[in-house]
Structure 1
Amino acid sequence: MRVLGMISGTSHDGIDTAVVDFSLAGDVLEGRVGFTASTPYPAELRSRLVAALPPAPTTLAQVCELDTLIGQSFAAAAADALERGGPLDLIVSHGQTVYHWVEGAHARGTLQIGQPAWIAERTGVPVLSDVRIRDITAGGHGAPLVSLLDGMLLGGREGGAGVLNLGGIANMTVVRGQELLAYDIGPANALIDAVVTSRGLNGRGFDEGGTIAASGRVSERLLEVLLEEPYYRLAAPKSTGKELFHLGYVDSALARSGLDLADADLVATLTELTVRTVAADVLAAGVGTLVVSGGGCRNPVIMRGLREALPGVEVALSDDYGAPADDKEAIAFALIGWLSAHGLPGTAPGGTGARAARVLGALTPGAGPLVLPAPLATPPRTLVLTR
């Protein structure tokens, strides 16, 4: 079964796509990763999206327009994958998260936009979407959903492993055999990107190659203020997003610190915040291996900081385990699509905190009748990815 996974993450910079050809051999699911791509949002669309995100006020008219425009962007990316990657049986669109509602350490709701009907209409392929909310209705956080893939890939790792994704938010899955725990640690790139964008430090909207952070000095005083954040002391599983970690959050921390930092020093300090919060949780987990993916793994300042802070831990990229670091989340949503199509749960309760695993998503038919594979009674235990 050939499935296209699509996602735009908390960096809000574009759409990652991955086509995976799945086949089942006993209790092992084999996935051959084919076409992958990353499609930036048009500059005007990204600007409109960022301007509408919390804590900014917005209107239902803006939400409707963004839902359509993002859906059309996802449709264009899907059409490109179909043309260049070959026939598809199913498309899974995560869409774009614009709000993740958490109160009292419990997720109450989540909103992903990017109308899937645009994708189905353009490609003629059925689309699975709205994949997070069912887990929330079962008492989970709806995140991090990638934890299921982590468990299937690394469950056999001796001594256990931490699987870290450094997107806008840093999330980690701790895997030991068939047991796992997953949660959001805190900001990875969210605060760095907000400062780089708002201050016009480059034309990319992120600290490419960590060059800005490398040119600055860490402010221990500001770092002390940032580390007072109560979220870091909540018990896992837990989830967060840009509803908490945004530009106003940085401005408030600066005001409390009484400092007026140079741009490079501010970026260096926010980068060190990511390193310290992640390293603290990895040490607490007691794992011997840390497998890293997401945009932050391309920042040498973050990666060097993690290796220095974790001298007894092997720090590797997910590429070494068959999941290219830049494409891992798109692959994870392709996996969720395969599971849902076969009537199998797409969550790990230890990862999201739900009462039990649930089959995920809502289906939009393609050009013809909606035909699904025969349901399976038991899920595969292991996932093997190849290129």
Structure 2
Amino acid sequence: MRVIGLMSGTSHDAVDAAAADLALDGDTLVLAPLGLIGAAYPDTLRTALAAALPPAATTLADVCALDTRIGQAFARLAVRADRELCDGRADLISSHGQTVYHWAEDGRVHGTLQIGQPAWIAEATGAPVVSDLRSRDVAAGGQGAPLVSLIDTLWLRGRPGVCAALNLGGIANLTVVPRAGEPLAFDTGPGNALIDAAVRKLTDGRLDHDADGALAARGTVHRGLLERLLAEPYYALPPPRTTGKELFHLPYLRAALAATGPVADHDVVATVTELTARTVADAARSVHATEVIASGGGVRNPSLMAALRRTLGPIALRVSDDLGFPAAAKEAYAFAVLGFLTAHGLAGTVPSCTGARHPGVLGSITPGRRPLVLPPPDRPAPSRLEIFRR
């Protein structure tokens, strides 16, 4: 089955589309990558989205407009991905949508909202669309994240020691896969979220991320600000735990700066880069990880990766490309896998990773132009994932 996974993360800057040939071979799910393309949100859409995100106030009219315009942006990229990566033969689209709110209180998730109306994708491509993949896990008592934990578990099971897959998106998360015993997953804290916020503050909005880690490299870590940020109670919560930009945003950083006193702009960027590295390293040590395999946009930041190598100490740090999984596309491929599993009636969660009461078949299906025909749900759930390199 040819599946396109659509993903826009907590950095809310662009949409990625990864296409894959997926097939079940006994207890093995075989993934053959077909490629990745991406498209930035139009400036007007990104500005409107940023203005509506917490802690800002918004209206239902704004939410409706954003749901439509994000759905249309996803649809445009899906059409391109079908044409350029699948020769116009995509069987299924799996859309993560854009997370706009993750309702977490006292360690429990009560709801989660991803927008980007899937009807626009189905109408534009003619293919069925799986969407709203997080809500079912929340309804089953889970955190709704990190959903990539199932793919990490299938992919890394059997590696020596305690392997931890690290996703460095706006929020950073770990999936911990021991050689024996149950896997574990949780959000460690900010990945790029506070780095991006600091860059926007430094440049008055002209830049939205620290390209090549250049700004952090010009600064020095401010110990007072770092200690204040490390005192955040979230880091003491037991896993599974999840968070988002509802907590880690520009006003959060401004409040810490107001309590700390004057800090040079480049030192702020260096400090929040160190914060991400320290909280990831602390989390990896807490689960006795022997190896960390990183993916996501943060792996393109040399300053962050250097800080991670230093703070991880003897824990080995690798990039997922080393094991055949493209770091820039891994999360989009993961959602292609989740859509494939849903279409086959197979669970897409690991309860020990999300905290749900039981594994769940995820998402809702929007039919395409043809009658909806799903594979017979008589296949065993896969126990491992193999990346097939053409």
Shorter chain as denominator, the TM-score bin is: over 0.9
Counterpart Cα distance in 1 of 2:206 and 2:23: 43
* TM-score where L is the length of structure 2: 0.97
Conserved? CA contact 1:153–1:321, under 8 Å: no
Match runs of 1:201-350 below 5 Å:
203-257=206-260, 259-350=261-352
> Which residue matches 1:125?
127
Q: Which moved more, 1:196-205 or 1:327-336?
A: 196-205
Conserved? CA contact 1:98–1:112, under 8 Å: yes
Q: State the identity %.
A: 55
SS at match of 1:336: helix
Measured against aligned partners, the alpha-carbon deviations of 1:317-351 in whole angstroms (never above 9, x if no partner) come to: 01122210000110000110111111100011111
Q: Which moved more, 1:205-214 or 1:375-384?
A: 375-384
1:141 aligns with 2:143: yes
1:52 maps to amino acid = A
Counterpart Cα distance in 2 of 1:40 and 1:231: 31
> Which residue matches 2:66?
66
Q: 1:384, CA displacement in angstroms?
A: 0.7
1:328 maps to amino acid = K
> Which residue matches 1:193?
196
Match runs of 1:70-149 below 5 Å:
70-86=70-86, 87-149=89-151
Q: 1:179, CA displacement in angstroms?
A: 2.1
In structure 1, stretches of 5+ residues that fail to align are none
Q: CA RMSD in A?
A: 1.1
Match runs of 1:149-168 below 5 Å:
149-168=151-170
Conserved? CA contact 1:170–1:185, under 8 Å: yes
> Which residue matches 1:57?
57
SS at match of 1:179: coil
Counterpart Cα distance in 1 of 2:376 and 2:154: 22
Gap change, CA 1:102 and 1:202, over 3 Å in 2: closer
1:262 maps to amino acid = A
Q: 1:68, CA displacement in angstroms?
A: 0.4
Measured against aligned partners, the alpha-carbon deviations of 1:296-316 in whole angstroms (never above 9, x if no partner) come to: 111111111111122322211
Measured against aligned partners, the alpha-carbon deviations of 1:127-170 in whole angstroms (never above 9, x if no partner) come to: 00000000000000000000000000001101120110010001
> Which residue matches 2:354?
352
Gap change, CA 1:202 and 1:216, over 3 Å in 2: farther
Conserved? CA contact 1:140–1:352, under 8 Å: yes
Counterpart Cα distance in 2 of 1:57 and 1:303: 35
In structure 2, stretches of 5+ residues that fail to align are none
> Which residue matches 1:368?
370
> Which residue matches 2:46?
46
Alignment coverage as a number of residue pairs: 386
